Homo-oligomer: A and B are copies of this chain.
Amino acid sequence: MGDNSLGNKFQITSFGESHGNLVGIILDGIPAGLELNEQFIQEELDKRRPGQSDLTTPREERDEFEIVSGVFNGKTTGAPICMFIRNKDVDSSKYETLKDYLRPAQVDFSAIKKYGGYSDYRGSGRFSGRITAGLVMAGAVAKQILQLKDIRIFAYTKSIGEINDATPYAIDDIEDCMISREKSKVRALNLEISIKMEKVIETVKIEGDSIGGEIKCVAKNIPAGIGGPIFNSLESSISKAIFSIPAIKGIEFGAGFKATRMKGSQHNDPWIVKEGRIKTSKNDSGGIIGGVSIGMPIEFTVAVKPTPTISKAQKTVNMKTMREETIVFSGRHDPCIVPRAVVVVEAMTAIALLDHLLTEGIIPSCL
């Protein structure tokens, strides 16, 4: 399989560049017969869109999408769905002036070593966070299929820097907060905590710096029995999908790293019977045991690193002269990418789970 495709029965193929003509995605394996809600796709894109608040990059993109194949009379046909967004507000000027300098924590060196200097370096090209717009479109379609099985995916900002919302929300509480989440500039669930998080971002923005954070994601109504031992574990599929998002540097399922300090007697989730069905009384497993879903919510948390683009002076190397220098790289950027990444995490989760459900025959290939 090519480097730019992901999935088994549901395969997405990403294409486009940050400052090229467009950013796009092909969805292969979406069941035929889905009445596509295009407005929903746009709403999802709007949650990732730059310029959505004063806490994000000023790059002005409306991110309006086109569907050019795979839909007929408003319904999916079973043929591959190609969708793309044309790039509008492209300012490549600054990439020319400093292109001999390696921007710290940026992909310049990676791209040269990988593609021998032929890659499109403008706006980081293929490595840009802008590529995730395609993922969000794919996720928005995947969510519509999942919804037919009443499966829903919710993510929110759990921490920004040191400000951490440690509340152990029940999944229904998270669902109830989804509208209020959109009132939070940072996509936190608790608006008091949100204000503290916003202040952290405003402060680093003024400093010309950036900050990281955590996103928590949960999936509701995944039936038991999805995934598998060894290589087909749900943790394997989800983590592979999630690490496709630039800036993600960690993932933990259920109790995660906290489990390393727990005893088995604390960590083991007791089995109970609830309304005639087998459940666990708590969910430290994150809903996955032996790589397989057990019918409890899938729960995981991801670590987002601080945006590498900052406007402070940084030490680096001029590749031409091979000399170390201290440079100020200016450029439009997000002081914190977490709020915009929330919907991308949801999208990749929807994509990974839908692939499992289609491949394992839980969702048919024709509605």
| Bound Cα distance from A264 to B338, whole angstroms | 13
- The minimal Cβ–Cβ distance linking A130 to chain B, given in whole angstroms, is 11
- The minimal Cβ–Cβ distance linking A325 to chain B, given in whole angstroms, is 10
Kindly state whether residue A324 has any CB partner on chain B within 8 Å: yes
Point out the residues of chain B lying under 8 angstroms from A76, CB to CB. Answer: 118
Point out the residues of chain B lying under 8 angstroms from A79, CB to CB. Answer: 4, 15, 17, 115, 119-120, 125-126
| Bound Cα distance from A115 to B230, whole angstroms | 15
B248 touches A305 (CB 8 A): no
Q: Nearest chain-B residue to A260 (Cβ)?
A: B212
Given contacts A5-B28, A29-B3, A109-B224, contact A82 B11 (CB under 8 A): no
A290 touches B225 (CB 8 A): no
B68 touches A22 (CB 8 A): yes
Given contacts A9-B2, A29-B2, A265-B209, contact A15 B70 (CB under 8 A): yes
Which parts of A233-251 form the interface with B (CB within 8 Å)? 233, 235-237, 239-241, 243-244, 246, 248-251
Kindly state whether residue A14 has any CB partner on chain B within 8 Å: yes
Q: Which residue of the partner chain, among B5, B273, B278, B292, contacts A5 with CB atoms under 8 Å?
A: B5
- The minimal Cβ–Cβ distance linking A77 to chain B, given in whole angstroms, is 5
Kindly state whether residue A204 has any CB partner on chain B within 8 Å: yes
Given contacts A104-B271, A244-B230, contact A366 B118 (CB under 8 A): yes
Given contacts A270-B316, A290-B107, contact A264 B210 (CB under 8 A): yes
0/1 interface trace, chain A 40-52, chain B, CB 8 Å (1 if under) = 0000000000000
Q: Which residue of the partner chain, among B68, B111, B232, B322, contacts A273 with CB atoms under 8 Å?
A: B322
Point out the residues of chain B lying under 8 angstroms from A111, CB to CB. Answer: 290, 292
Point out the residues of chain B lying under 8 angstroms from A291, CB to CB. Answer: 110, 127, 243-244, 246
Given contacts A76-B118, A119-B78, A249-B286, contact A306 B264 (CB under 8 A): yes
Counting every copy of the chain, the complex holds 4
Partner-binding segment picked from A53-61, A167-175, A184-192, A307-315? A307-315
0/1 interface trace, chain A 258-270, chain B, CB 8 Å (1 if under) = 0111111111111
- The minimal Cβ–Cβ distance linking A113 to chain B, given in whole angstroms, is 3
Q: Which residue of the partner chain, among B16, B72, B251, B270, contacts A120 with CB atoms under 8 Å?
A: B72
Kindly state whether residue A32 has any CB partner on chain B within 8 Å: yes
Point out the residues of chain B lying under 8 angstroms from A295, CB to CB. Answer: 113
B20 touches A69 (CB 8 A): yes
Point out the residues of chain B lying under 8 angstroms from A120, CB to CB. Answer: 72, 77, 79
Sorted nearest first, the 9 A-B pairs with minimum C-beta distance are A113-B225, A2-B28, A2-B11, A250-B252, A107-B290, A110-B292, A210-B264, A3-B232, A235-B243
Instruction: Given A106-B289, A267-B306, output 14 extra A-B contacts at Cβ < 8 Å.
Output: A2-B10, A4-B28, A13-B13, A13-B28, A14-B80, A15-B82, A17-B77, A77-B125, A104-B270, A110-B225, A126-B230, A212-B260, A235-B249, A240-B240
